[in-house]
Amino acid sequence: MGAYARASGVCARGCLDSAGPWTMSRALRPPLPPLCFFLLLLAAAGARAGGYEVCVFGVPVQTCPTVQPNMLNVHLLPHTHDDVGWLKTVDQYFYGIKNDIQHAGVQYILDSVISALLADPTRRFIYVEIAFFSRWWHQQTNATQEVVRDLVRQGRLEFANGGWVMNDEAAT
């Protein structure tokens, strides 16, 4: 039978599928909460693209500068793609060890991003790999953590994906 029900309306795993013939079995349908979350993310992205106000923790966030009509408007989004364990171990990437393999010290990226955001209120940054951010976060003082919370509230520091690693690693 495969993944689909036959015309009888009985699923491949033996469950009765009330939705009718040729529907996916219940075992293969995505769980409702993750699907709803995904749809919410799509709606938020559409709202941003349409110029609607986006709020973070109930506070309106200016998502981009005013668009200039009749001009090419380019939006550069600085973000990370720090591989978690690709050529080096997580510790080697985080602390910048074994730079003969690859020159990378993720803790310094986070330190410099926070400093740059504080130095220029027009800057924004997107961070992706929560595996590294979590390690960095737990090494920070309460004062630094509060500064980071403020940057997030202002919409100047964002987290994309919400995964431990970048999607290409999480999906393989």
Q: For residue range 14-23, what is the model confidence (pLDDT) as tens digits?
A: 333 344 443 4
Pairing of strands 157-159, 125-127: parallel
- Answer whether 12's CB lies under 8 Å from 6's CB: no
User: What domain range is 22 assigned to?
Assistant: 1-30
Number of domains in the chain: 3
pLDDT tens digits for range 147-157: 999 999 998 99
- Which of 69, 89, 120 represents a domain boundary (last residue)? 69
What average pLDDT score do residues 116-131 get?
89
| Contacts of residue 121, Cβ cutoff 8 Å, sequence gap at least 6 | 156
Looking at the structure, tell me whether residues 26 and 39 fall in a common domain.
Answer: no
Q: Residue 90 above 70 pLDDT?
A: yes
What average pLDDT score do residues 73-98 get?
76
What is the pLDDT at residue 142?
96
Looking at the structure, tell me whether residues 167 and 87 fall in a common domain.
Answer: yes
Helices (H) and strands (E) in the chain, counts: 6, 4
What is the pLDDT at residue 9?
37
- pTM value is 0.55
What is the pLDDT at residue 117?
94
Q: Is residue 62 classed as helix, strand or coil in its secondary structure?
A: coil
Looking at the structure, tell me whether residues 60 and 87 fall in a common domain.
Answer: no
Q: Nearest CA to 162 among 61, 31, 38, 44?
A: 38
